[in-house]
Amino acid sequence: MVKTAGPDLKRYMDKRLGLKLNGNRKVSGVLRGFDQFMNVTLDETVEEVSATESNRIGMVGSVIRGNSIVQFECLERI
């Protein structure tokens, strides 16, 4: 059996990330955890509804499934 390496997101831990999800949705939050499937756990999560409107999703532990993530970017300096 071949083992594959998971995503290398360690350097982004405790940094604010912007995620673009399928369905043209955007969320941002502080990365608290991830797994080999690129499922991520974010704190202080905010969904960007439009350019002027955003919704706070949760302060602690929003889980985003890896297969719905299209793109991510670090919003803080590493």
CA distance 46 to 26: 9
The pLDDT, as a whole number, for residue 20 is 97
The pLDDT, as a whole number, for residue 54 is 87
CA distances from 3 to 6, 32, 36, 44 (A): 9, 25, 11, 33
**Please, are residues 21 and 66 in contact by the beta-carbon 8 Å criterion?**
no
Task: Show the CA angle centred on residue 5, arms to residues 4 and 11, nearest 5°.
Answer: 170
The pLDDT, as a whole number, for residue 35 is 94
The C-alpha R_g of the chain, in whole angstroms, comes to: 13
pTM above 0.75, yes or no: yes
The pLDDT, as a whole number, for residue 57 is 82
For domain 13-74, say whether CATH 3.50.50.60 is its number.
Answer: no
Low-confidence ranges of the chain (pLDDT < 70): 1
The pLDDT, as a whole number, for residue 1 is 66
